[in-house]
Amino acid sequence: MIYTISLTGDLGSGKTTVRDIFAKNYGTTTFTTGELVREAGRKRGMDINEFSLFMEKHPETDREIDDALAAMNVEGRSIIIDSRMAWHFVRGTFRVYLSVDPLESARRILKAGRGSEHFESLEEAAANVTRRKKSERDRYLALYGIDRDRLHNYDLVLDTTCLSPERTAEIIAEEYNKYVSGLPRERFYLCPKRIIAGCADEDGDIVVSRDGDSFTLVKGARSLREKIDEEIVACAVIE
């Protein structure tokens, strides 16, 4: 099976681990811009946070990376591209966004203990996650007029808050196979415990409204209660 996938998402959502699982289990070639960015920062004596701020004032660093993406030819290749903007610049990919609750993101980053990311507390890590996400969003809006956080840009949005990396990779593969086969499939999957109940209609399928990293139930309260202990639930998202 040929898997041609562009993978992006929130910090700490498991992108790198999922990418590596695809390489091991499905024989896909991998390509990442993350290491290119980190290496560019190291050459300037900056960690990833300092270099993110630097890139805000030096758009040429983004354009160099994005131009390389736009020049990629993935036709007929089994490849998973771990990149912030490959979903936009690389044609012919299945566009996947991995979402994660900000606090869970911070916990994972703290646990990983990356050498370039030092935090004294969960709160400090969570604040950094929020700041970096906003920085990246603002940068791409300014450069290209594109909102990379808009979930409807993607073919699949998968919340990894309650998922293992292995299960995440399995679901992506399953949804990809449906996609290339033209079979009916869902587009948005969220961890049910992440959805704020609110004042929602009881009946119908699960529909949520999105405000930043928060998801509030609009419709389908009965369905959500029935599935509250599941890893993920399919839903419609209003942005």
- For the chain, the C-alpha Rg in angstroms (whole number) is 18
Q: Which stretch of DSSP H or E encloses residue 224?
A: helix 221-226
Contact present, 134 and 212 (Cβ < 8 Å): no
Tell me the C-alpha distance between 149 and 145, whole Å.
Answer: 12
pLDDT at residue number 61: 82
pLDDT at residue number 237: 98
In this predicted structure, the answer to whether residue 56 has a pLDDT above a threshold of 80 is no
pLDDT at residue number 116: 52
Most confident listed range (41-55, 104-118, 189-203) = 189-203
Arithmetic mean of pLDDT, 22-30? 95
| Widest pairwise Cα distance in the chain | 56
pLDDT at residue number 113: 67
Q: What is the pTM of this model?
A: 0.88
| Residue 229 pLDDT grade (very low, low, confident, very high; cuts 50, 70, 90) | very high
Tell me the C-alpha distance between 55 and 88, whole Å.
Answer: 19
Arithmetic mean of pLDDT, 41-58? 84
Q: What is the mean pLDDT of the chain?
A: 91
In this predicted structure, the answer to whether residue 41 has a pLDDT above a threshold of 90 is no
Q: Which residue has the tokens 């979930």?
A: 151
pLDDT at residue number 2: 95
Q: Which stretch of DSSP H or E encloses residue 15?
A: helix 15-26
In this predicted structure, the answer to whether residue 66 has a pLDDT above a threshold of 90 is no
pLDDT at residue number 118: 66
- Give tens-digit pLDDT for 179-209: 999 999 999 999 999 999 988 899 999 999 9
- Give tens-digit pLDDT for 171-182: 999 999 999 999
217: CB partners within 8 A, 6+ apart: 195, 196, 197, 198, 200, 206, 207, 208, 224
Task: Classify residue 41 as exposed, middle or buried by CB count within 10 Å of its CB (0-12, 13-18, 19+).
Answer: buried
- Give tens-digit pLDDT for 119-171: 777 888 888 888 888 888 988 898 889 999 999 999 999 999 999 999 999 99
pLDDT at residue number 114: 59
pLDDT at residue number 22: 97
